[in-house]
Amino acid sequence: MRSKQKVLILTAKYGNGHVQVANTLVNHCRDMGLKDVIVCDLYNESHPVFSEITQYLYLKSFSIGKQFYRLFYYGVDKMYNKRMMNLYYKMGHKRLHEIVLREDPDIIINTFPMIVVPEYRRRTGTVIPTFNVITDFCLHKIWVHENIDRYYVANQHVKEKIVRLGIKPSAVKVTGIPIRRQFEEKLDHGELFTKYGLDPEKKTLLIMAGAHGVLKNVRELCQSFLQYKNLQTVVVCGKNQLLKESLDPLAAAYSSQIKALGYVERVDELFRISDCMITKPGGITLSEAAAIGLPVILYKPVPGQEKENSIFFENSGAAVVANKYEEIQESVDYLLKNGHLLSNMSDNIKKLHHPHSAEVILQDIQKEAVAIKRENNKKMKGSVNY
């Protein structure tokens, strides 16, 4: 018998969030002495062509395919109980069976809604403790299945929605979404201002412009902010080299007001010394902002989880939603002229943070997996005795 539990983490590359949460859990597993951890992009390994096409369509949903994604997200939600979902239930079954036979995992963690995993138990009778780590501040019904042993969710709102679908309250735990440990460190802000060449006496606006290239007119936006002499704008272009090159001349001409950066490894450092951030409403980015207490302006949420995330944060008084380019400028102007609102938003977004989420989740999973195995062994012995 193994002295340590073997963990299988299943994820998918539809956006960065699911994989990022998987990697965060891997790192914390190893810190806890769980060295035997496998990460698998199940759909990509099972159906590489289909996976590549659907990932491409997912990325296009942020620009030209918004109505397509709206139909998919809300349409699948409506046909949740129909047999039309049978194909999705089977996707990855063969590959999952191969992994289970070869690796014999003690625990399965899903950071993407893979119905094939609980369906595998229903179809084969093989009981492997299975847990869903939901990576948004909203719920899609496709995460929910009777053979998921426990759900780890961002807030009470998501828990209540799962319970209304017939899941026992004890099977849903509000833990927050796992984030990189660097976002929960304590750092000297003064050193960070010096590192990035920023003035601590000015307000700092952070623009996360690299993801999927969805934030248009960034150069024009930066130019419009030059009118505020007490504002410095930092644009993180990520791997979007064309965007950075377009901003470099402007940043050189107005070096005290505009900074254009490429990929930033320790982006948490910029979060800490910023007063407000313009970004897309992905579950992980919002969790990281909540950990720091950074107010957000959420630009043009895509129908689906982005839209639902933005509604939750806006209703919580932690975010402003801008659906048009002009609304970004208006929001920045309003917040700069009403500093107390930024302070209130910071307090409100901090309330949405659950510290040390990854550790809380993994400790609970370890205990729950042992209890499930013990209970299953009792049932099997009882069945044999009968």
Question: What's the pLDDT tens digit per position in 265-299?
Answer: 999 999 999 999 999 999 999 999 999 999 999 99
Mind giving me the DSSP string for 116-169? HHHHHHHHH-----EEEE--SSS--GGG--TT--EEEESSHHHHHHHHHTT--G
Query: Does 3.30.420.610 match the CATH number of domain 182-350?
Result: no
**What pLDDT is attached to residue 70?**
55
Higher pLDDT, 385 or 88: 88
Residue 301 DSSP label = P
State pLDDT tens for residues 12-30.
887 788 999 999 999 999 9
Above 80 in pLDDT, residue 211? no
Outline which parts of the chain fall under CATH 3.40.50.2000.
Answer: 7-176+355-385, 182-350
Above 70 in pLDDT, residue 77? no
Above 70 in pLDDT, residue 324? yes
What's the whole-number mean pLDDT along residues 369-386? 75
Above 80 in pLDDT, residue 68? no
Between CA 203 and CA 12 the distance in angstroms is: 38
Question: What fold does the segment set 7-176+355-385 form as a domain?
Answer: Rossmann fold (3.40.50)
**What pLDDT is attached to residue 84?**
47
Above 50 in pLDDT, residue 44? yes
pTM: 0.89
Above 90 in pLDDT, residue 47? no
For 317: left if phi > 0, alpha if psi spans -120 to 50, otherwise beta; the answer is left
- The stretches of the chain forming alpha helices (DSSP H) are 17-31, 42-46, 48-60, 66-78, 86-90, 93-103, 116-124, 156-164, 189-195, 218-225, 241-253, 267-272, 283-292, 305-315, 325-337, 339-350, 357-385
Between CA 7 and CA 257 the distance in angstroms is: 48
**What pLDDT is attached to residue 215?**
73
